[in-house]
Homo-oligomer: A and B are copies of this chain.
């Protein structure tokens, strides 16, 4: 057999699983740093520690690699939002959503940058996912937030823009890491900046969304 991608429909070799894993790891590194068009197969091959034709044996095109990577990462990327619980305490839910998003920005910055690059450049490869699954999920959670506001549990606000604000403020620490560190200076560029950010963002969102006396349910 010469076509590994076809063989995959049957059963995958141990080697296949290992190598595909290796390749996607390298692809994440490179795509996240240079974007799709800015990345080269040679670069990815080098990071993956294999030759270019070898790499193309597992993924027939650059786009196939990118697509496989996105498919694998997108789901886990949305997990924090999925865990947003309608039954939970509103303030606690928002707080822990911010926490989780910030932890992801700290622990998985490459995944964040992968999407940031893609979206920044008009999301040519994931637009459908944004309009479909992502929109559906956000619509659902926005409804939850709207209900909380209506019940007077949090301040009235546009739930979509609230979600955007949480996304942008947290992912900022992954996507614009270089700028954050440049501005903070070496002395504040330790991992402590994530603690500081968490403290600030909690204060901002929790206080900013608290129901104040003049606006009862």
Contacts and interface: CB of A to CB of B under 8 A. Distances in A.
Interface of A: 33-38, 113, 116-117, 119-123, 127, 130-131, 134-135, 138, 155, 157-158, 160-162, 164-165, 167-169, 171-173, 175-176, 178-180, 182-185, 188, 196-197, 199-201, 203-205, 207-210, 212
A130 B37 CA distance: 25
A43 to B, nearest CB: 11
- How many copies altogether? 2
Given A164-B169, A180-B164, A157 B204 contact: yes
B204 A119 contact: no
A contact patch SS: helix
Given A35-B120, A165-B204, 4 more contacts: A35-B37, A122-B178, A155-B207, A203-B208
Contacts of A164: 169, 172-173, 180, 183, 197
